[in-house]
Structures are given as C-alpha cells and as structure tokens.
Structure 1
Amino acid sequence: MPEWGAGTERVAIVGAGLAGCLLATLLARRGIDVTVYERREDPRVTAPERGRSINLAISARGLEALAQVGLRELSLSRALPMHGRMVHSRDGQQSFRPYSADGTQAINSISRAELNLALLEVAERTRGVCVRFGHRLSELDMATGELSFETAGGQRAARAGIVLAADGAYSAARRSVTFRQGFTFSQDYLQHGYKELTVPPRDGEFALDPDALHIWPRGSSMMIALPNLDRSFTCTLFWTGAEFAALRSPGQIRDHFRRHYPDVAALIPDLVDDYLHNPIGSLATIRCWPWVHHGAGCTLALVGDAAHAIVPFYGQGANCALEDCIEIDRCLGETDGDWTTALTRYQQRRKANCDAIADMALDNFIEMRDRVNSRAFQAKTAARHALERRLAGHYVSQYELVSFSTVPYAQIPDRIRRQDRAMALAAAGALGLGGAAVALAAAASRVTRRKSP
C-alpha cells in the first residue's frame, strides 16, 4: 500500500449508481472520507435517457440493505407490491400465479431512477462524502493510484489508495486489470435484447392489475410489464435480434402486436413511436476473478455489476449489488478497518453467491418465457405450494428463498436438492410425512450452518 501524501484521497468510488451511493454512505459512517466519481451529469438536473428505465423488483435482500441507511420504509412507500405473476395467453386470457404459498409475499416495483436519487441524497448528506458528476474515467494507473477523468472542462486527475469500481457491467475501472496475468473474464450475451414500451393510465386508473408482474410468454421470447406510481406500466420486450429487425413499418408493428399480444396492443397508444425510437439494450452475464487487485499505488475492488452482471429475470441484480456493499461494510467492521483483509474476505464470501444467482437468473428466463405455460410446470408449482403450506418452515420453494429471504444464494440449490430428495423418499413410502418434515428440517439446518466460501 502507498504512503498517504498531501492531496491523496483515501477512497474513491467510481460510479454513483445504487451500489456506489450506498457504499459511500456506509464507508463515511465509519469515518472514511470518500469521493464518488460519476460519468453522467447530476440526474436531478438532467432528463432521464429514453427507454432505459427498467423498473427494479426490490425484495428482501435489497430492503435489508436499504434499512442500513434508513431507506427501507421510504422505498416501500414509493413502491408497488406485486404478489404474483399474471400470465397472459395468446388468446388474451389471464391467469394469476402467486409468488408464495400463502399469497402474502410480494416483490416491489420501484423506479430505478427514484431509488438512485434517494440513495444519492442520503450519501450527499453524510459527512465525508463528496460526489463529482460529469467525470468519465478514462484511465486508472494501478502503479501510481492516479485516476484520469474526462470532464466538460477538460482532463482532470485524482489519486486514491483504495478504488472501488461500482461503474456497472461495462466498467471503465475494470479495464485497468483486464489484461493482468491471472485475471479471468467472461462476457456471455443472450441472443435476446430488450426494448421498453409504456402502457399509460386508462381513465386515470391502471390499465392492468397493479398487484402483479405481467408476463406474455411466447416460447422463444416474451414481454413483461411492471406497475409505476403514476398508474402507468413499463413494458419490456425480450426478443431476439431477428424478431426486432423483422418489424420495420407501422403496419407490421401494429399487426404483430394484435396477433401476439391482443389484450394489451390497444392499451399502448404510442406503440409505434416507442417501438421505432426506443433503443434496444443488450443482456449479458459477466463473470470474472479475482475481484480485488493490488498495485504499487492502489488497491482496486470490483463491486456489483462490475464484478458479476446478471440478466434481470430473477429481479436480483440490484438486490445482489446492494448485498455486496453490506458485505464490504461488514468485513471492514470485522477487521477493524484493515482494507486488505476485509476485501479478501469480501470477494471470497460473495463470489460463489453471485455465480449461483447468475445461473438461477438464466434458468428463470426459460421458465418465464416458456415453462409457465406448461401444465406440468403449473402442477409442480401447485404441489410445491401445497407442501409449503403443509410443512411450513420446513419446505420452502426456490423462489421464496431467493426473493423473500437472505439465505446466501450459493446455499439455495443444495437446499432445494435436499428438499426434493426428502419428498421423493416420502412419496415412495420410505418416509412418512412426519419423517419428511424431520428430513427437511435437517436439510435446512445443514445448509444454513454452512458458511459461504
């Protein structure tokens, strides 16, 4: 680690998104001065980018993180609970599928921009935090700890001993170590992209049921819709590039939606304009290792999407990134502020968890666009919910463990396998219901006792 001289910043965070703002607040509360650099201008004085909202589905993990900075209740007051999926068939029929066995659990639709502003304002009110907008990182020199930025006023430079990269899937800070010996990196794109549409209020009210995440599964593709506080819905198409390219004229667009999304086509008055002018975003899973890098001048740690971008089909990208911040803060507390040891623990504890949710998110895409229409899948889900009601606290579905608990992601697949094995034995007559309950309790205990790697 370098010695600190005049003008050297102890900690720099690159990126003032959800993770960057939360992390800045947590560190400043420990008495650590933090400078946050954001490439965009202040979002409070600039218009949002068209077609890039993608509502967040904040659930238990994100809410627990927000509670650490006093934003849990405020966030819930600005969110809309969704207690299940509303599946729309090709003939316009709708079927509601609750997320939890008792129907009480909900994920929460909230504006990413609004939540980001709330976290930004908390960070700026925290003594020791300085946020600098309009600073696009162009280079990080690990040998000197110097960060070079492009600004409206020209090139600017700063120095830091600790650099925390919270600047997203296409992290500029991560480029400084991309070609380091021993650094592994993969960037796997889906053949699908996404495009946003808007269903406005109808006669001042929601045009669709606001208590659900709406899904139009179409086998190889799908559309979803999440409610907003202004009574609109943000719809997102998840289509292949070929599907997007096939629709070029207003007539083709209208005809396609009337055929494939008949119950919503008439609810989107700006359908053609949104479709033709909103951008197509990409969907990628990013994995890399290690997340922490030491140079002669600084230490760099990757956080959130910069370390582990995932596809959005489990609604866990933001929740997972916020958990990263809590883990870094926890590790600093455990090590009395020893950054080297704390960051080593952070990456060791989080890597397996982030790999696990990345895999589950990819699998959930297949479930949402295809399996939800399968009678076998529906029967299996109903059976699982029946078991959850009959064996409350012992049998818990994967969805509930991911969205409504803080059980480490990496423990969930093993727990599900153990649960299914116990129930298979019960069904075969090797165990009675009471024996199954004991086996399930033992499975849950073995999993939760095991520490994350």
Structure 2
Amino acid sequence: MKVAIVGAGLTGSLLACYLARRGLTVTLYERRADPRAGTAERGRSINLAISERGLDALRRIGLDETVMTDALPMKGRMIHPVSGPLDFQQYSAGGDRAINSISRGALNNALLTAAAAADGVSVEFEHRLCELDSAAGQMVFQTPSGKVTATADVVLGADGAGSAVREQLLAEGIVAEDVDFLDYGYKELSIPAVDGDFALDPGALHIWPRGTSMMIALPNPDRSFTCTLFWPAGAFDALTTAGTISAYFAENYPDVLPLAPTLVDDYLNNPVGVLGTVHTLPWQAHGRTALIGDAAHAIVPFYGQGANCAFEDVVELDRCLDDTSGSWARALPLFESRRRHNTEAIAAMALANFIEMRDKVASPAYRLTKQVEHALERLLPGKYVSRYELVSFTTTPYAEVQRRVHRQHQLVRLAAVALGAVVVALLRRRR
C-alpha cells in the first residue's frame, strides 16, 4: 500500500516514522527545499515546549533520546514585572517536573532525518500541492521543473494550519472550516549569550506579563533565548523608529533592553505572525484522504501543546489502525471520532491560558491560588492534580482533564463552604 503524506514538518515526519514501522510505502511531499540544507525563515521559529504527550509519542518508536538531545528542561515560569524582584513559579507541586524547550527547526530536522532513514520512506522536496482528487488519491504538485502527478492509496494532509490539502477538500465541498483569528500577532526577538553564558535563568520559561500583552523567552542550546512578543495586532504598527522602539522597551521591558543588542533590528525586520484556531469538519473523506495535526485543528500556542497534541494525533491514528486491522476506511473515521472532542478541549484551554499568562500570573491572588493548589496536590497525591500538570505531565485525554478539573474545583468550593460553616459555628459557640 502506498501512502502519501503532504507536509514534511513535525507531524508529517513523525507520522512517516510510525507508518514505516507498519511496513507501508510512504512518500513525504514537502513544498520547501530540504530545511536541513538551509537556514530557518527569519522570525518564524516560535520555540516549542515538548512535554509528556510529545515525549510519549517519541518514546513509542525509540526517538525520544535522539530527537531531544538539545532540549532544555524548564521547571517553571519566571515572571518579570516592570519593577521589583523576579518571581519563579514552579510547574509541579514537587518542583521536579519540567517542559522542554527545543527549536522547531532542530526538532523538524531530527524527525525528518529519522523519517528519511526509515525503510520504505522517500521524501520529495519542493513539491507544492496544487490539485487533489480526494476520491481517487490523485495529486498534482508544482515543482521547479514544472507540474508532476502522483497517486496514492491514502493521502494524509499534515501540512499545518494553512494546509493545501484542506484547501483542496474545501474546494471539493467535502469539508467546512471555521478559522477564529485572535486579534493578536506575534513577533520574535533574540537575547544572545553574555560572555558565553545564558543572560537569564535557562531553567525557566520567562514571561513579561503586561495586562493586554506579554513577551515570553525560551532558552536555546547555544545559550541564547528566543523571545516572542504577543501584542494586539495593531500595536506593532505604533513603533516605527529606533527611538520609539528603544523608549517603549525601556519603559515596559526595562530588563530586556540591555540584554538584546539586536532588538531594534529584530523588531523592524522580523515579520508579524498571525494567531488563530482552526476548526474543520470532517477531517476525512472517502476513507482514504484525511487531515491530521494543525491541518485539522490548529490552536494558539499559549499552552505549549500544539506539537504535543499533533504528536498525540499520530499515536491515536496508529492505535486506530491497530484496532481496525489496518483498514484505513475504518481507521480514519474512528480517529476523528476519538480525537475531535480532545482537540476542541485543548483549543479552549489554550485560549484560556493566554489570559492567565498575560493578565494573572503577576497578581498576588494568582500566586496564592497556585500555592493552595500545590498544597492540595501534596496532601492528596494522585487525587488532586492541577490542570497544568494533567495537561503537561500526563497523557490524560484533554477532554477528561477538563471534566476532572471541573470536579476538583467543585469539591474545593464545597470544602471551603463546609469549612466556613464550621468556623462560623465555632465562633458562635464561643460567644
């Protein structure tokens, strides 16, 4: 059986590795030139935070140690206020668990190399999908030398939020999409190493919460930090000169300016990216053509779960193929039915986490809430687990995380009411 995967990014490359293990003949089609031979597009990396779901997918095929060689563990958030001391907030109750910072490009290259080395996998670069007959599995690609055609028994679109496969399915009238763009954009900056060492603590994800906007920074193996501004879309246009940029950062991000010598150049020349959530219905057609990962359900990056969720898609599709004895006609609808409610759940949680990161993490009330949560986790191990830990450090289905956290919060509220009643009763007796 011949399987075509359109998109040799993170999801497509990992999926090729999984399908090769099943003895299938796989061709990866990628619109870019081989990314391992060039340089990353300026200002488009957004470092990834790989956590347990992604690690689980890599671990299942023995790629976790190889692929994650250059990853840097981050055990918590470091909050940078406009003035005053930094505030480190650990992710787990015990302070021992971490998410892992890794360059999107480095991870893509490692997975692509693993896929290309797998038996039965071939990779075609500079192939941009321009036509698709989803019922027949026939594809037309634009290449530097002209158009070429290809046919496969199964066509899988793993080509990201701007999926060409999804576009073709839309044109055929087979799927519908709803893209909810966030009224925010992102722009990347860089903090280089200082005297060969990290300028900031490399064991943390750094956040500069500023109410309606924020900046984050993640460490890199070369001891630099990749910073990402998340601002209301129009805000980027307000700063157009070196003077206004420097003045704004001096006022709002005073500790960043002396650490970022290329800040003005980065700000003026790096593009502004868009953010949004993609909802697609259905994800598959004819039992032979399907969407996976961001092509089916892109989310905003504020829970660090985009790649983790897509990797979990690959695991679930592999499981569906097992459960249907390798029948794609049955596996693809089953995959969608099992995953849809979970991807909708993480999409909602990612949006909610944006508000938490930009508005709440610096407040005393938030810090107190987290302290209480960690105390409950230590008092009730395994019974009370925070949303963040369930999402980042377990493979509990996302929809179940939502349900469990809701139940936990209800119980805490009931306990608080009961405790209050006891206190009131004791006070009355003393009177």
TM-score range, shorter chain: over 0.9
Alpha-carbon separation, structure 2, partners of 1:40 and 1:142 = 23
- Residue 234 of structure 2 corresponds to residue 242 of structure 1: yes
Aligned-partner residue type, residue 294 of structure 2: D
Match of 1:373 among 342, 362, 366: 362
Alpha-carbon separation, structure 1, partners of 2:414 and 2:358 = 32
Aligned-partner residue type, residue 391 of structure 1: L
Match of 2:166 among 174, 179, 190: 174
- 1:275-314 paired onto structure 2 within 5 Å: 275-294=267-286, 299-314=288-303
Match of 1:162 among 130, 154, 160: 154
| Residues 71-117 of structure 1: CA deviation (Å, up to 9, x unaligned) | 21233431110000000001153100000111111000011111111
Alpha-carbon separation, structure 2, partners of 1:228 and 1:377 = 29
The residue aligned with 2:249 is 257
**Secondary structure at 1:208 match in 2:** coil
The residue aligned with 2:44 is 52
Displacement over 4 Å in runs of 4+ = 179-182
Alpha-carbon separation, structure 1, partners of 2:30 and 2:325 = 29
Contact 1:193-1:241 at 8 Å conserved across structures: yes
Shift of 1:139: 1.1
Contact 1:384-1:397 at 8 Å conserved across structures: yes
Shift of 1:420: 1.5
Shift of 1:124: 1.1
Contact 1:194-1:236 at 8 Å conserved across structures: yes
- Residue 139 of structure 2 corresponds to residue 147 of structure 1: yes
The residue aligned with 2:63 is 71
**Secondary structure at 1:170 match in 2:** coil
- Residue 22 of structure 2 corresponds to residue 33 of structure 1: no
- Residue 410 of structure 2 corresponds to residue 421 of structure 1: yes
The residue aligned with 1:15 is 7
* Distance verdict in 2 for CA 1:430–1:376, change over 3 Å: closer
Alpha-carbon separation, structure 2, partners of 1:174 and 1:91 = 47
Show structure 1 runs of 5+ residues with no match: 1-8, 433-453
Work out the number of aligned pairs and report it: 421
| Residues 409-451 of structure 1: CA deviation (Å, up to 9, x unaligned) | 011111011112222222333899xxxxxxxxxxxxxxxxxxx
Contact 1:311-1:358 at 8 Å conserved across structures: yes
* Distance verdict in 2 for CA 1:111–1:261, change over 3 Å: same
- 1:424-443 paired onto structure 2 within 5 Å: 424-429=413-418
- 1:71-110 paired onto structure 2 within 5 Å: 71-91=63-83, 93-110=85-102
**What is the Cα-based RMSD across aligned positions, in Å?**
1.5
Contact 1:99-1:399 at 8 Å conserved across structures: yes
Shift of 1:143: 4.2
* Distance verdict in 2 for CA 1:431–1:239, change over 3 Å: closer
Instruction: Tell me the TM-score normalised to structure 2 length.
Output: 0.95
**Secondary structure at 2:236 match in 1:** helix
Shift of 1:373: 1.9
Aligned-partner residue type, residue 111 of structure 1: S
Match of 1:335 among 313, 324, 332: 324
**Secondary structure at 2:414 match in 1:** helix
Shift of 1:179: 4.6
Alpha-carbon separation, structure 2, partners of 1:249 and 1:347 = 49
The residue aligned with 2:400 is 411
* Distance verdict in 2 for CA 1:431–1:413, change over 3 Å: farther
* Distance verdict in 2 for CA 1:182–1:23, change over 3 Å: closer
Alpha-carbon separation, structure 2, partners of 1:51 and 1:345 = 38
Shift of 1:26: 0.8
Alpha-carbon separation, structure 2, partners of 1:42 and 1:197 = 25
Match of 1:325 among 307, 310, 314: 314
Aligned-partner residue type, residue 288 of structure 2: T
Aligned-partner residue type, residue 159 of structure 1: T
Alpha-carbon separation, structure 2, partners of 1:29 and 1:189 = 37
Show structure 2 runs of 5+ residues with no match: 422-431
| Residues 258-283 of structure 1: CA deviation (Å, up to 9, x unaligned) | 00000111100011110000111100
The residue aligned with 1:348 is 337
Shift of 1:242: 1.9
Instruction: Tell me the TM-score normalised to structure 1 length.
Output: 0.91
Alpha-carbon separation, structure 2, partners of 1:428 and 1:110 = 44
Percent identity over the alignment is: 57
Shift of 1:243: 1.1
